[in-house]
């Protein structure tokens, strides 16, 4: 992303980031997770700190990140009353006949590459963490 503007297309690290979902959304963060298959784990997170505006389905596939259009930027700037520090746009397959346009405005964006398990296992390797909803089985 262009550090000066904060509004260019997102550059993802190398990997197979086909399957995406929202794993957290609260006033402090909007967190998207991605991998080639989200059944057991994910390996990439886009963490939008202090989200200001979000237009995005809960699950989607194969996003194509791009710079926002001047019309999108004007609309969101008008809604917020100021230009957002980070503004990300992408087209994605959300299961309908046509791609859906998605927009996220936030104060900051962190790209986290880490293996996050979506199920409990006693023998998790160092460097792995569990998704926030994963709990050990009750004894």
Evaluate if residue 111 carries a pLDDT over 90.
yes
Evaluate if residue 61 carries a pLDDT over 60.
yes
Length of the chain: 139
Evaluate if residue 1 carries a pLDDT over 50.
no
CA-closest candidate to residue 20, choices 10, 34, 31: 34
pLDDT, tens digit (0-9, with 9 covering 90-100), for 34-47: 999 999 999 999 99
CB–CB of 115/127 below 8 Å? yes
pTM score:
0.88
In this prediction, residues 78-102 reach a mean pLDDT of 95
3 state SS of 75: helix
Evaluate if residue 89 carries a pLDDT over 90.
yes
Within 13 Å, how many C-alpha atoms sit on residue 77's CB side? Answer: 12
CB–CB of 13/113 below 8 Å? yes
In this prediction, residues 53-78 reach a mean pLDDT of 96
């Amino acid at each position: 992303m262009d550090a000066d503007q904060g509004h260019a297309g997102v550059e993802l690290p190398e990997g197979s980031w086909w399957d995406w979902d929202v794993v957290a959304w609260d006033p402090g963060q909007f967190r998207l997770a991605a991998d080639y298959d989200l059944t057991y784990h994910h390996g990439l997170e886009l963490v939008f700190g202090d989200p200001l505006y979000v237009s995005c389905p809960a699950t989607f596939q194969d996003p194509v990140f791009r710079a926002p259009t001047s019309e999108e930027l004007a609309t969101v700037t008008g809604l917020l009353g100021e230009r957002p520090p980070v503004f990300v746009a992408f087209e994605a397959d959300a299961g309908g006949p046509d791609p859906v346009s998605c927009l996220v405005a936030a104060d900051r964006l962190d790209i986290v590459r880490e293996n996050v398990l979506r199920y409990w296992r006693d023998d998790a390797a160092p460097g792995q963490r569990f998704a926030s909803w994963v709990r050990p089985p009750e004894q």
